[in-house]
Amino acid sequence: MGDFEIREEDLAGRIGKLETRHGTLETPTFFPVIHPVRLDIGIDILKKIGFNNFITNAFLIYKNRKNFKKIHEEFKFDGTIMTDSGAYQILQYGNVDIDNLTIVEFEKQIKPDIAVILDLPTGNTEDRAEAEKSVEETIKRVGEVYNEVDDDIIWTYPIQGGRYLDLIRKSTIDFNKFKDKFKFAALGSPTVLLQEYDYRSVVSMLVEVRTNLSRGVPLHLFGGGVPHMIPIMVALGVDSFDSASYILYARDNRYITRDRVLKLEEMDYFPCSCDVCAKYTPKELLEMDYDERIKLLAIHNLYAIKLEVNSTKQAIKEGRLFEYLQEKSRSHPAVYSAFKEALKYNELLEKFDNGIKPTGKGIFLFDYDSVFRPEIRRFGKILNRYEPKSKNAVLICYEGLSRPFLEDELVRKYVSISLRENKDVFIVVPFFGLIPIYWSDSYPLAQFELSEPVDDLVRKHMIDVIKDFITKKNYSKVEVVNCKDLHIESIGTLSSS
Ligand SMILES: [Zn+2]
């Protein structure tokens, strides 16, 4: 159990398959948090919405029913069940009256597919000593059950450290000591940061984990029930989430959309066509009695989360996750901040991005953010390896040229002249800088769409790339032709002759 196979990749995100005792779980996936006693939403409804997995709390079950049978029998559910262990209660109330060995023994008895040991969450503490203690204690507890855990359950290694990135690193690296028994890793405690819209911190925490955790290990994020952050978290390599937000928000009359959370009282229209939204208006929901309204709102909220997970997966499948992030980042300034933070780690995104676009469709280039997409970064590195054939370069601006560039009449004219006169021919294209003509029919150099006119930052980037290239490759004469709006004639003066 616990074999994880990566099927599709885009940026550092992936679609994977995790083998569990109750079937193969396709990731990225969302585990709705189910209260084991209250059961606000029936398991049958969960299935109907499309969730074949949920997470519940082994600690709460233990407190209420020590004679609990096998968990799948009790819940009458044949999908994947994950159990948390009481760490959330520690975060909420400071302590729980159970120890790690007891809860692990209990989890072995009720037999979920995936289980978590009783870790000590770092939470949102700003006390470094406390954060260090939570990391050390959690690692100690993993060690103390190491010989107790078996292969029937996928055991989760909790990564702690909170906002202290060096502690997260240590916590992640220590996973290697236990990796033959623990097949699943989970990052703890970002819930408060997410609630406070401190998405940038969450991004840097995830980058720290994904940089130090083997690519083949699935990564869960505790909490993380805000749909608008799901694409970014997935793009950084998160494979699953859990959250009770759908029900907590519902109790507060809050309606989740893919981009934000709205108060039911402020709504006139439902921007959704799920079972609930197709049938009722916001006013009708408000007039219902409390229990009925909460249930319906929770169902809608789950649909909204499901929709976002599926949209993200489809974007991975099409190889357009970067463009999807650009689109989603405009939903809220805090999401845009998170996106910008993620772009700082473009090396990581490029490293994991497999460079294959399954649909073969062109890439869409919008604004300066697009300069950071893996295809552009990778091209920049390849361009550095270009070997000049002569001392003279001809730069033809892309404006008005047909593609593939090599078939354009003007380009062909210059290519034949330069063969005679021994010159290297390049096409000047915003975002890329310049493209050696004989490379121009390879992906994505012939397949891109860009927004025009290009903004000043993109133009500056392009000019920097060109100047740098000409200097490094020692061209003594540079001729610029066909330039209208790009205004790069001045580059011609770079030539040293
Ligand atoms: Zn709906």
Per-residue model confidence as pLDDT tens digits over 444-483: 888 899 999 999 999 999 999 999 999 999 999 999 999 8
How far is the centre of ligand 1, averaged over its atoms, from the C-alpha of 37 (Å)?
Answer: 26
Which of 10, 84, 174, 239 is the catalytic position?
A: 84
Nearest by Cα to 52 from 228, 268, 306, 235: 306
Average pLDDT value for residue range 209-235: 93
How far is the centre of ligand 1, averaged over its atoms, from the C-alpha of 313 (Å)?
Answer: 20
Nearest by Cα to 56 from 93, 81, 90: 81
CATH 3.40.50, the chain: domain bounds: 363-494
How far is the centre of ligand 1, averaged over its atoms, from the C-alpha of 298 (Å)?
Answer: 10
Consult the annotation and say whether 274 binds a ligand: yes
Chain centroid, CA 391 distance in Å: 45
How far is the centre of ligand 1, averaged over its atoms, from the C-alpha of 255 (Å)?
Answer: 9
Query: Does the structure show a pLDDT above 90 at 203?
Result: yes
How far is the centre of ligand 1, averaged over its atoms, from the C-alpha of 303 (Å)?
Answer: 6
CATH number of 4-348: 3.20.20.105
What is the percent of the chain with per-residue pLDDT over 90, rounded to a whole number?
Answer: 79
Indicate if 84 belongs to the active site: yes
The answer to whether 242 and 232 are in contact (CB under 8 A) is no
Consult the annotation and say whether 483 binds a ligand: no
Consult the annotation and say whether 119 binds a ligand: yes
Quote the mean pLDDT of the chain: 92
How far is the centre of ligand 1, averaged over its atoms, from the C-alpha of 76 (Å)?
Answer: 26
How far is the centre of ligand 1, averaged over its atoms, from the C-alpha of 277 (Å)?
Answer: 4
The answer to whether 207 and 345 are in contact (CB under 8 A) is yes
CATH 3.20.20.105, the chain: domain bounds: 4-348
Consult the annotation and say whether 272 binds a ligand: yes
In CATH terms, 363-494 corresponds, of 1.10.3470, 3.40.50, 3.30.70, 3.40.470, to: 3.40.50
Residues 294-345: tens digit of each pLDDT: 999 999 999 999 999 999 999 999 999 999 999 999 999 999 999 999 999 9
Sign (positive/negative) of CA torsion 60, 61, 65, 67?
negative
Higher pLDDT, 189 or 182: 182
The answer to whether 176 and 147 are in contact (CB under 8 A) is no
Residue 361: per-residue pLDDT: 78
